Amino acid sequence: MLQSREGQRVPEVTFPVRAGNAWKHVSTAELFDGKKVVVFSLPGAFTPTCSSSHLPRYNELAATFFAQGVDAILCISVNDTFVMNEWLKDQEAEHIIMVPDGNGTFSEGMGMLVDKTDIGFGKRSWRYSMLVDDGVVTKMFIEPDEPGDPFKVSDADTMLDFIAPEARKPDQVAILSRPGCPSCAKAKQILTAEGYQYADIPLPVSTRSRAVGAITRAGTVPQVFINGVLIGGAEALEAWVAKGKLQAA
């Protein structure tokens, strides 16, 4: 049975970390003492849920966490430092500190080291998240002890809602575009000017018309989505921004 460690200090562990071409040793004291730290731990780098959901959302919400007084966000996995460093680069997760618990010492000390030999993983960390204040665990979200790899409570949104329920999360913005499109460039300029970070999705010529039509029922790019709502092209985006400013005035 996986037990919460709320109210207890994190295990005292030293992590061998490869930085550049040199080894260094990072202690839990360096990571946690005098700091408010969010931790999320997962079964393995480059694995599906970890790469598609768990890590990216913590990175996406990092600025909001920091605005709420969080000093650092740590990702812990029973992987070696080389794997964790490559995963960090692959994910472009610049706001996350990777902690390679290669020997599973920290995970074992947390009571979260589990046997995954049935899928060839050996010993790995169970998926969980926690808030640590000056080395003491103040809150844990542990995934339910059930078969497979449950991902229900250790996500970034759950942790942020616990820390600051009223915190405004960044809007999720995406734009369907094509290279060399003046209207696409205009839409991106508007988004940038309004402070939106967006995912640019350039579509290939061979499938652009069908893709845009299937997704938006329109025939041209750009097509801008904000929080799952289709705004439309550059002119529609401009009108949407103007309307929002008028309503706020």
Compute the 3-state secondary structure of the chain and give helix, strand, coil in percent, each to the nearest 5.
Answer: 35, 25, 35
Pairing of strands 198-202, 97-100: unpaired
What are 221's two structure tokens?
Answer: 């790019």
CB 203 within 8 A of CB 218: no
The amino acid at 96: I
> Which residues are tagged catalytic?
50
The amino acid at 113: L
Asked if residue 150 has a cis previous peptide bond (ω within 30° of 0), the answer is no
What are 157's two structure tokens?
Answer: 């949104």
Q: Which residues pair with 37 in a beta bridge?
A: 72, 132
CB 93 within 8 A of CB 56: yes
Residues in contact with 195: Cβ distance below 8 Å, sequence separation at least 6, in sequence order: none
Helical (H) or strand (E) element with 33: none
What are 196's two structure tokens?
Answer: 């939106």
DSSP 9: B
Q: Is 80 in a helix, a strand, or coil?
A: coil
Q: What is the DSSP string of 51-76?
A: IIIIHHHHHHTHHHHHHTT--EEEEE
